[in-house]
Chain A
């Protein structure tokens, strides 16, 4: 198969950047999108040019490193798939393919197609955990968890943190990502304990990092490679409102020895 590629090239964070056109030929329909880019890069290296930089690692759809906006869709045309699991058979022979980096003020471009997603780490650091230490833990079966809750929690926890939700959202909102973590932990009795604190802190972190607001277009759900649903966003809204309205004021306890 042959393709015309229009790829965003940008030397570094401060460079202006722009689309550059490349042609690749004799690509196997069974090769993955990255293997097609590998072929392009080998060509560029042979010509002494700078290869295209793109984020990728596990190439089996789970690490969440890959991040390409292909023909106007994060991770390309296939539903429920990451870019690394996208194969060239999903494109027409001779097709022109636009490849761009994720676009969001909170995800600045590092080089070419690579963006900095550490904003997601900061959101998790604001409360995306259960505050337990590694000692004195009760037996795992002490608290039974209804299977349906465990399953729903898993569905939310399946998030790979790739940022496709932000990339697809017309408002560059991170609500699906944040709500997936809030839901994952709020649905389990272990995470329930500090659920009120968590949702408030995570939302505050999200807001401070410059993501947009949710306007319920559900583009995130349509593009999520793990098919995480917007029901999580509603759950987070509910959790957030309840916490804001009903949580007792936190007392600042100062203690001296």
Chain B
């Protein structure tokens, strides 16, 4: 059993980060430019980290699979970014943001990391404004805020429904500035397929140039993974088509532990699935729940008629509607956290009250808000979201209620990291959604952007200097080392094997099947029997894939099917680990709902006695069963209690 130590400073929580900063070792400017750092991924975490490290004077190599850093999927975040600014004077402060995040995460996150996140949050807003991020403002010229799920204050900063885009453009422009100054070199259209470990330290990556198919070696003194989440394991998710687990998974296979893989967030407000051909799901921002009311018919007969399109939702009288979130959770109403809202929707649909042609949808109704505030005000707040909805569904949400259903959105699990955001492999860091650290078993809305930027702009630049201060005597790592050679060989062999499989089915066929297994047995609700069954199904799928996949095109050319095949193969292996993790965690918490463990009224039933730990899985090679390690969670400041939003 590996002894997992977070290594948080041994001082009271509010003093930890200052104490760390005061004591951490630095690297002098002359030495910084002799040190190479690889940053994989250019989302909020990756771009902000690469930009800041470049600005400090390190020699940074930034990788992304997209054609330009500005397209990373952080761009799709809609609602906003939290910060404990208390600009609204509504009782917010660092402690409350910390507390909300720990509670929202169902007491499965590490206190020290979350407190640091909350305390850094105000600085993020300052920096973003200085970069020219056009946040929403009041007429007085000061910044505006909105409220979000799981909190009772308005602390969310936003730029219409495109906050992620604006923040990413801010980080991308900072990155562009460093590229023009020569401190960052960009490697776009690259898939990072392996991490190179030399003498136990992360020293480089093997990348495939997606345009030429060339396998490239890149070395550095430290490697930072900012590769996002693994939601695409479900095939249908709100992630981008290219979002993948591959770099994180190769880190896992090279010795980094993978934590809490079963913690996935199912976002309550997505556009429902409507056909077999569908390739992805579209999120409708959580901010819609500020003004939209969620309901299903009170009568099953009405639901049936709606499904058959015999009546329209407007025809159902107010008294015949069940605003089930307001009914079950009067204190938070439609603004309960995501996991709670998602499960409640599933519960209603399972009970036969679902609407839409498939019966897997509920209404999100703006008619009251339009009556109260006027169409103009609603258009100003959500215009682009309404437009997007109308384009996809061909229904006008000003006229008729939206239909929504939960969908996979975010993954709280990820590579295990310590207080310094370093994985169990020295010199290998994981930041943003790629790590597990801040959101426990459920993430609150508008906190992902906060974490990505906190890690990249403000945390990693300090913590990595501690490690690099011991590397100033290490000359540039030659890519001719045998470890690079072996890694290249491994990558080339696997690519050749994939290419030569010559089976009958396309990659998508397997991905779709994997998604069905994961959604059915490891989705919003899980149970022992289903998870056991999933293990068998995934194992079968893995075998079928290895003999049945067909990849047209060559290795040394632009070949998107080959890219997908590699990613899906990793997803299948990850699926297995997720199921194992879900089986092991015999409790319900946050996004992980085990049907065997619930309160009489259907709420998640945590078991703090046995499961107040972070699971951390160790790869044991080949088909060997991975080994579970545990980081026990200590709650010194917050006392875990049953989460109640009633």
Contacts and interface: CB of A to CB of B under 8 A. Distances in A.
Size range of the interface on A? 35 or more
Interface stretch (B276-284, B473-481, B579-587, B619-627): B276-284
Given A34-B279, A35-B279, A134 B127 contact: yes
Contact of A31 (B76, B123, B275, B553): B275
A121 interface: yes
Nearest to A44: B552
Contacts of B469: none
B277 A38 contact: yes
A137 B127 contact: yes
A64 B70 contact: yes
B577 interface: no
B141 A144 contact: yes
Interface string A143-184: 011110011011001101100000000000000000000001
Contacts, number: 212
A218 to B, nearest CB: 22
Contacts of B279: 32, 34-35, 38, 59
Top 7 A-B residue pairs of the complex, sorted by shortest distance between their CB atoms: A144-B141, A129-B173, A154-B134, A125-B180, A140-B129, A153-B134, A137-B126
Contact of A141 (B87, B186, B238, B508): B87
Given A139-B126, A150-B134, A111 B173 contact: no
B132 A188 contact: yes
Given A63-B76, A63-B240, A130 B130 contact: yes
Interface in B107-161: 123, 125-132, 134-143, 159-160
Interface in A16-57: 27-28, 30-32, 34-35, 38-39, 41-42, 44-46, 48-51, 53, 55-57
A129 B176 contact: yes
Interface of A: 11-12, 27-28, 30-32, 34-35, 38-39, 41-42, 44-46, 48-51, 53, 55-65, 78, 80-81, 85, 87, 89, 110-111, 114, 116-118, 120-121, 124-126, 128-134, 137-141, 144-147, 150-151, 153-154, 157-158, 160-161, 184-185, 188, 190-191
Contact of A45 (B166, B282, B550): B550
Interface in B208-233: 211
Interface stretch (B307-315, B340-348, B388-396, B441-449): B388-396
Given A57-B71, A62-B162, A118-B188, 8 more contacts: A45-B506, A51-B560, A81-B391, A89-B394, A120-B68, A121-B68, A145-B141, A190-B129
B143 A42 contact: no
A121 B179 CA distance: 10
B457 interface: yes
Given A57-B73, A161-B68, A134 B162 contact: no
Contact of B134 (A111, A128, A161, A188): A188
Give chain A's interface secondary structure class: loop
Contacts of A35: 277-279
Contacts of A160: 165
Given A110-B211, A129-B177, A158-B165, A59 B240 contact: yes
Contacts of B142: 141, 144
